[in-house]
Amino acid sequence: MSSPKIGIYPGTFDPITNGHTDIIGRAARLLDKLVVGVAVNPGKGPIFTIDERVEIVREEMNHLGNGLSDRIEVTQFSGLLIDFAHQENATVIIRGLRAVSDFDYEFQMSSMNAKMAPDVETVCLMASDKYQFIASSLVKEIAKLGGDVSQFVSSRVASQLGERLKG
Ligand code: ADP
């Protein structure tokens, strides 16, 4: 029997958007197991703590449907992505590509990771047209200015954002 195909989907998820959730659902269908890796990433100055982001992503996964959540795990990580991949026995790194602007960075990162860990393949999924303009950073900006973000994130995430940014 061949070994199960395990992938990791790393990101900051500050907060998780409908675009992320779409990628997670599509990637989970291609794999036996998908580990969503929430990067500690203090350098990005996240508005939610690492524990909060993990909790919020887990809650979103409970609402995925189609039995997909059984195949998904959510965990935090820090350090090198390839070390996290090896730790999870993953042979695939999933990334989402929105526009041309994502390409340079993703291409460079996947090339460097491939040099360091040739056993791990980066697979980029194209953002769905409905979600390709959504970015966590813009969602935060809109929420900070009092705008309605309910088209971009789930109602649960929208209310968590509202709570965090109150006052
Ligand atoms: P990072 O700090 O690693 O960029 P993000 O949480 O911003 O973390 O994004 C994680 C991954 O999800 C990245 O590959 C990013 O390109 C992808 N992504 C972000 N938003 C979307 C979206 N709306 N549609 C598809 N992929 C997305």
CATH number at residue 126: 3.40.50.620
Tell whether 42 is covered by a domain.
yes
DSSP 72-132: EEEEEE-S-HHHHHHHTT-SEEEEEE-SHHHHHHHHHHHHHHHHH-TT-EEEEEEPPTTTT
Task: Please give the tally of structural domains in the chain.
Answer: 1
Tell whether 156 is covered by a domain.
yes
Tell me, in angstroms, the distance from the centre of ligand 1 to residue 65's CA. 21
pLDDT of the residue at 42? 75
Mean pLDDT by 10 residues, the chain (167 residues): 91 97 97 97 89 97 88 97 98 94 92 97 96 95 95 97 87
Could you report the per-residue pLDDT of 93-114, keeping only the tens digit for each?
A: 999 999 888 899 999 999 999 9
Tell whether 117 is covered by a domain.
yes
Q: Which atom, in ligand 1's list, is nearest to the CA of 94?
A: 14
Among 155, 114, 153, which Cα is nearest to 14's? 153
Domain of 17? 6-165
Phi, psi at 41, each rounded to 5°? 45, 55
pLDDT of the residue at 41? 84
pLDDT of the residue at 167? 62
Residues with CB under 6 A from ligand 1: 10-13, 17, 19-20, 23, 95-96, 98, 102, 127, 131-132, 134-136
pTM above 0.85, yes or no: yes
Could you report the per-residue pLDDT of 72-89, keeping only the tens digit for each?
A: 999 999 999 999 999 999
Tell whether 1 is covered by a domain.
no
